[in-house]
Structure 1
């Protein structure tokens, strides 16, 4: 067949809506590797969700979409707050974003950091599984990224080396590390503590040397990183904020995939997200179930203080000025929608 004949055949097939063998593959020029960035590493649930997503996509695409995980936010020099910017710059292709880490760039996800907005997991599920979650995904799409599924890093509990925390007064004078976000500085200043922002990589040596007295993180991270060996002998379960995760990829990468592969990537993200949420909640004794994580804390000699509803309400009252201030930043209408969804779910 001459070159002219081949071109005529291709043009004729395209005009007739036919697919020649190999033509669809030729139209989808995939890269040898796609980079997925995530904070931390296995075995923590946060990172596990990212690894599962990468593995599912790679396996189910037959290696056509080869996703490699770069843990510890190494593609951004360990600074997890730069992952969204790096994705928009083309440095990162896939990521599982912490809503805390991207809140400085996407003000609407700061909703989840409003102190004591969500009393329990039912409240969180009502947000990420309903209209609020869809609204936030719409906001993400306007940042040139494609959100596909929700995950969860967990409710953030507070630990320290000094004493049990049961009232706002117990926090006075304590140096408490937080990861990112000016709202956390406001929360701890309001409670009389001394907030210190630092990366997770710097946290462990800071705890071991006493440079900070305490920190706030989900229980699964406390256990995985053995913070009980870093002088963290007191842990209070207060559920003051949660850190939902968003499984995302860059708009340019998404647009390069065929429709069938887009569906494959989405389904893998949703499956990994469900698994990740289940891992995060395992062992917390929810609804009277498996409480192995709580038992492990006590086995390690950690004094666990679980606040009552009345005690949480005292903290909520103390931090209400922070809640009202940051509601304006998040968006008053989105906050009202979230409050209504939570009331309906927890009534």
Structure 2
């Protein structure tokens, strides 16, 4: 009979051998490359967020997980609204995606597109950093994706080539490019405009040719895409909706990684998300409005509606808000309204 020490040593050796075999098999199951989708490229904070996530994942996993960025939603032919379905199907492995673009498949994500729900950055943070954000992550988990972190594309502001916009009357008949969500069609129709859904790839040539008069996007997009060069000389800062981003991984891909690597990917997403939010808000706060000044210096007329003027937009879109609250789920909307109200008191 073997002595206990010898037996323990033998068992330890077998354990190390088996551990090495498992580790090797697991490493062999990893792909050489994983596909990460974003709508915008690295000229924009959104694309930079995807790039940064990939860098951090490679660093934190010591190169075991390598990610390639596919901007322009190129993995789905540029169709932004097909991105979420492609993640579920495994065509896309990871994504930094917009709540707007994914809302046709996940109705609860329309929350952030309720017109004039979110007055400021504190309101966005109250949702993404609180119970509402956790509830939305649970909804995504039921849809075969693993949500890891929040990022930000920003508040969507209005630009056009025709005239300053202060009230709904100024929008009457104006042709505006909007994203592919029926909520946006209904919002702008309620304001008297003529909304036209098209991808971002199609939007810039449409603006340049005059096929559409204007668009709505965060100011980081307005600047990086050089929209003043395609006639967008009037800008209205009205904070009518926000566009948070979500870092996600396909459920099967997530399950194929070791627990340690999954945690590394999560931490990388959280870090990239924090950095992305800082970039998205840079130059757009009360303490630092440098980006707005930069836009004005390029010859753009910047209009900020008064509280009374903004209320006209709110009143005109209230029926849309009420209708879509039912679609999203009234308990979730009420929880969001309460969280925002509490956040404003801090």
Q: TM-score range by the shorter chain?
A: over 0.9
Displacement of 1:17 in angstroms is 9.8
In the other structure, the counterpart of 2:293 is: 295
Taking the TM superposition and a 5 Å limit, the aligned residue runs for 1:89-168 are 89-168=89-168
- What secondary structure sits across from 1:340 in the alignment? helix
Q: Deviations over 1:188-216 (max 9, x none)?
A: 11111100000101111111111000100
- What secondary structure sits across from 1:240 in the alignment? strand
In the other structure, the counterpart of 1:185 is: 185
Displacement of 1:22 in angstroms is 4.6
Contact 1:238 1:312 in 2 (8 A): yes
Displacement of 1:43 in angstroms is 1.9
In the other structure, the counterpart of 1:27 is: 26
The CA distance in 1 between the partners of 2:66 and 2:76, in whole Å, is 21
- What secondary structure sits across from 1:164 in the alignment? coil
- What secondary structure sits across from 1:82 in the alignment? helix
- What secondary structure sits across from 1:173 in the alignment? coil
- What secondary structure sits across from 1:301 in the alignment? coil
Q: Structure 1 residues 346 and 19, CA, compared in 2 at 3 Å: closer, same or farther? A: farther
Displacement of 1:113 in angstroms is 0.3
Q: Structure 1 residues 180 and 14, CA, compared in 2 at 3 Å: closer, same or farther? A: farther
In the other structure, the counterpart of 2:3 is: none
Q: More deviation in 25-34 or 131-140?
A: 25-34
In the other structure, the counterpart of 2:8 is: none
In the other structure, the counterpart of 1:9 is: none
Contact 2:46 2:276 in 1 (8 A): yes
Report the number of matched residues: 335
The CA distance in 2 between the partners of 1:155 and 1:180, in whole Å, is 17
Taking the TM superposition and a 5 Å limit, the aligned residue runs for 1:1-347 are 20-28=19-27, 29-284=29-284, 286=285, 288-347=286-345
Q: Deviations over 1:66-113 (max 9, x none)?
A: 111111111111111111111111111000110000000000000000
In the other structure, the counterpart of 2:4 is: none
- What secondary structure sits across from 2:239 in the alignment? coil
Q: Structure 1 residues 308 and 18, CA, compared in 2 at 3 Å: closer, same or farther? A: farther
Contact 1:13 1:19 in 2 (8 A): no
Q: Structure 1 residues 23 and 289, CA, compared in 2 at 3 Å: closer, same or farther? A: same
Q: Structure 1 residues 258 and 313, CA, compared in 2 at 3 Å: closer, same or farther? A: same
Q: Structure 1 residues 213 and 61, CA, compared in 2 at 3 Å: closer, same or farther? A: same
Q: RMSD across aligned C-alpha pairs, in angstroms?
A: 1.7
**Gapped regions of structure 2 (runs ≥ 5):** 1-10
The CA distance in 1 between the partners of 2:16 and 2:66, in whole Å, is 30
Contact 1:237 1:304 in 2 (8 A): yes
Displacement of 1:229 in angstroms is 0.8
Contact 1:13 1:20 in 2 (8 A): no
Displacement of 1:291 in angstroms is 1.6
* TM-score scaled by length of structure 2: 0.94
**Gapped regions of structure 1 (runs ≥ 5):** 1-11
Q: Deviations over 1:266-292 (max 9, x none)?
A: 0000000000010000011x1x32222
